[in-house]
C-alpha cells in the first residue's frame, strides 16, 4: 500500500472515530433529557411522603438506563485518553462503602447477602475516589447480576508487601475456562439466553480494567468453571505513611431552608416537563422560582425578576445556553451577580470545559440528584 493510501486510510479512520464520539455525545444527551423529569418527579413524590413498589421499580430502571449511558460515554473517553484522574489519599473502606451505596439496590432486589471484610483503617490508597468507587461498584453489580437470588457475595481486602488486594467473590454462574482470557474485552458477556435476563452492554469490566491500570494497578479473575462462582481481584499500591495530618476546623454547615428562603432562581429549559418538575422541587426547598423555555423569554423575564441563580439548559431553541449566558452577562437582568449553572444532557469533558469558558459556575448532568443540585446552588450563592 502506498504512503498516500496509508495516509488516506488514517484520515478516514480518524473521521470515523470523531463521528462515533459525536454520536455517543448526542446519544447521551438525548437519553438523559427524558430521564431528568422522571427522576425529579420520583424525588418529589418521596419528598411529599409518597412511596410505593411501583416507584421503586421506576427508580431502579431509570438508574439502570443512566448507568448504561455512563458506560457508553466512559468507554469513549477512555479510548480517546480523555479520562482525567484527580487522585487523593483515601481509605479503601471509604471507597467500598461508596460502591455499596451504588450497588445496594440490586442486592436488595435479588435478596442477596453481602459480606464485607475490609479494615476501616490502615489501607489507604492514592486514587481518584470517584473513579475507584466506580470500579468497585462495577464489580459488585457484576457479581450480583450473575448470581442467583439469595446467594452470597463477599468483599475482602488485605495488605501484601506494599500493595492492597481487594477481592470480590460470588457464588454465581462462574466462567468457562475459554472465557477467562477475554472477560475484560469490550462487549464480551457471559453466554446468556435470548431473554437477556442480566442485561447490560458488556462494558463494565472493560471500564474496570482500564481505570485500574490508569491508577498503576492490576485486575485479575479466577473461576473454577461454570456454576462454581467467580473471584475478581484488584491490586493497588498502598499510600505511603502520612508524615503529618492536619485537622482544620470544620466549616459550619449552612442551614438548607434558611439559606434557600427568598433566593430567586430562574429555570431555562425547553423541556416543559423537566422545567415544571424542577420548579416544584426548588419551591419545596424554599426558593422563589420562575421558568422560561427559550433564551429571549429568559432575558425578558430576568429584567423584572432579577434572579440570583440561573439554571440553564444548553440545548435551547432560538439561542443555545452558551449564547444565553453571554447575553445574561450583558443584560441589565444580570446585574447583582447572577450565577449560572449549566443543567444539560451533555456530559463529556469537552462540554464541561466549554460551559466553564462560557461563564457557568457548575456543570450538572441530567438526570440531577436534588441534593447535589441544592448543594451546588448554595455553594454558588455563598461564593
| Cα–Cα distance for residue pair 258/263, rounded to 1 Å | 10
126: alpha, beta or left? (left if phi > 0; alpha if psi -120 to 50) = beta
CA 378 to each of CA 46, 291, 309, 342, 371: distance values in angstroms, whole numbers, following the listed order? 22, 19, 10, 15, 11
Residue 113: enclosing H or E segment and its boundaries? Answer: strand 113-117
The phi and psi torsions of 270 (rounded to 5 degrees) equal -80, -10
CA atoms of 383 and 373, how far apart (whole Å) = 16
DSSP state of 255: P
Reference 236, options 116, 142, 114, 131; nearest CA is: 131
pLDDT tens digits for 284-302?
888 999 999 999 999 999 9
Per-residue pLDDT, 17: 63
CB atoms within 10 A of CB 141: 20
Helix (H, G, I), strand (E, B) or coil at 170: strand
The pLDDT score that the predictor gives to residue 342 is: 93
What global pTM score does this model have? Answer: 0.51
Report d(CA 375, CA 381) in Å as an integer.
10
User: For position 250, what pLDDT does the model report?
Assistant: 29
pLDDT of residue 324: 92
CA distance 105 to 99: 11
Bond preceding residue 367 cis, omega within 30 of 0: yes
Give the CA-trace dihedral at 120, 126, 127, 133, to 10 degrees. 0
Say which residue the cell 478516514 belongs to. 12
Whole-angstrom distance, CA of residue 49 vs CA of residue 109: 22
- Give the chain's residues under pLDDT 70: 1-10, 13-14, 16-18, 20-29, 50, 64, 67-68, 71-82, 186-202, 241-262, 332-336
Q: Which residue segments constitute the domains of the chain, with CATH numbers given?
A: 3-79 (1.10.287.130), 88-190+200-237 (3.30.565.10), 261-382 (3.40.50.2300)
Q: What is the pLDDT of residue 64?
A: 66
The upper half-sphere exposure of residue 92, i.e. CA atoms within 13 Å in the direction of its Cβ, equals 26
Q: Can you tell me whether residue 363 is helix, strand or coil?
A: strand
The rounded distance, in Å, linking the Cα atoms of 236 and 219 is 9
pLDDT of residue 258: 35
pLDDT value at residue 71: 66
Q: What is the pLDDT of residue 39?
A: 81
Which pLDDT score, from 0 to 100, does residue 272 have?
A: 84
User: What distance in Å separates the CA atoms of residue 168 and residue 206, rounded to the nearest whole number?
Assistant: 16
Amino acid at each position: 500500500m502506498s504512503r498516500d493510501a496509508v495516509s488516506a486510510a488514517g484520515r478516514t479512520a480518524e473521521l470515523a472515530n470523531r463521528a462515533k464520539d459525536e454520536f455517543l455525545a448526542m446519544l447521551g444527551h438525548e437519553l438523559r433529557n427524558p430521564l431528568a423529569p422522571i427522576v425529579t418527579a420520583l424525588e418529589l413524590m418521596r419528598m411529599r411522603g409518597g412511596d410505593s413498589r411501583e416507584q421503586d421499580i421506576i427508580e431502579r430502571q431509570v438508574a439502570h438506563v443512566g448507568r448504561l449511558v455512563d458506560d457508553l460515554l466512559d468507554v469513549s473517553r477512555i479510548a480517546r485518553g480523555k479520562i482525567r484522574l484527580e487522585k487523593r489519599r483515601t481509605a479503601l473502606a471509604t471507597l467500598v462503602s461508596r460502591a455499596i451505596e451504588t450497588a445496594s439496590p440490586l442486592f436488595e432486589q435479588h435478596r442477596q447477602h453481602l459480606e464485607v471484610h475490609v479494615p476501616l483503617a490502615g489501607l489507604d490508597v492514592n486514587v481518584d475516589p470517584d473513579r475507584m468507587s466506580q470500579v468497585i461498584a462495577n464489580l459488585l453489580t457484576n457479581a450480583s447480576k450473575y448470581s442467583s437470588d439469595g446467594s452470597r457475595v463477599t468483599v475482602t481486602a488485605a495488605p501484601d508487601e506494599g500493595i492492597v488486594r481487594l477481592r470480590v467473590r460470588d457464588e454465581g454462574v462462574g466462567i468457562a475456562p475459554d472465557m477467562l482470557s477475554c472477560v475484560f474485552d469490550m462487549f464480551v458477556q457471559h453466554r446468556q439466553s435470548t431473554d437477556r435476563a442480566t442485561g447490560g452492554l458488556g462494558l463494565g469490566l472493560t471500564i474496570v480494567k482500564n481505570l485500574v491500570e490508569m491508577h498503576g494497578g492490576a485486575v485479575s479473575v479466577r473461576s473454577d468453571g461454570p456454576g462454581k462462582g467467580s473471584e475478581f481481584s484488584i491490586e493497588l499500591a498502598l499510600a505511603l505513611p502520612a508524615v503529618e495530618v492536619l485537622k482544620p476546623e470544620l466549616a459550619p454547615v449552612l442551614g438548607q431552608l434558611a439559606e434557600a428562603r427568598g433566593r430567586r432562581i430562574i429555570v431555562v429549559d425547553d423541556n416543559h416537563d423537566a422545567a415544571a418538575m424542577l420548579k416544584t422541587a426548588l419551591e419545596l426547598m424554599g426558593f422563589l422560582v420562575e421558568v422560561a423555555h427559550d433564551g429571549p423569554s429568559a432575558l425578558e423575564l430576568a429584567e423584572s425578576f432579577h434572579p440570583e441563580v440561573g439554571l440553564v439548559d444548553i440545548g435551547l431553541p432560538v439561542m443555545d445556553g452558551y449564547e444565553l449566558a453571554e447575553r445574561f452577562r450583558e443584560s441589565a437582568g444580570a446585574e447583582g451577580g447572577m450565577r449560572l449553572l449549566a443543567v444539560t444532557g451533555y456530559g463529556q469533558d469537552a462540554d464541561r470545559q466549554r460551559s466553564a469558558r462560557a461563564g457557568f459556575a457548575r456543570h450538572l448532568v441530567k438526570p440531577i440528584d436534588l441534593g447535589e443540585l441544592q448543594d451546588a446552588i448554595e455553594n454558588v450563592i455563598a461564593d
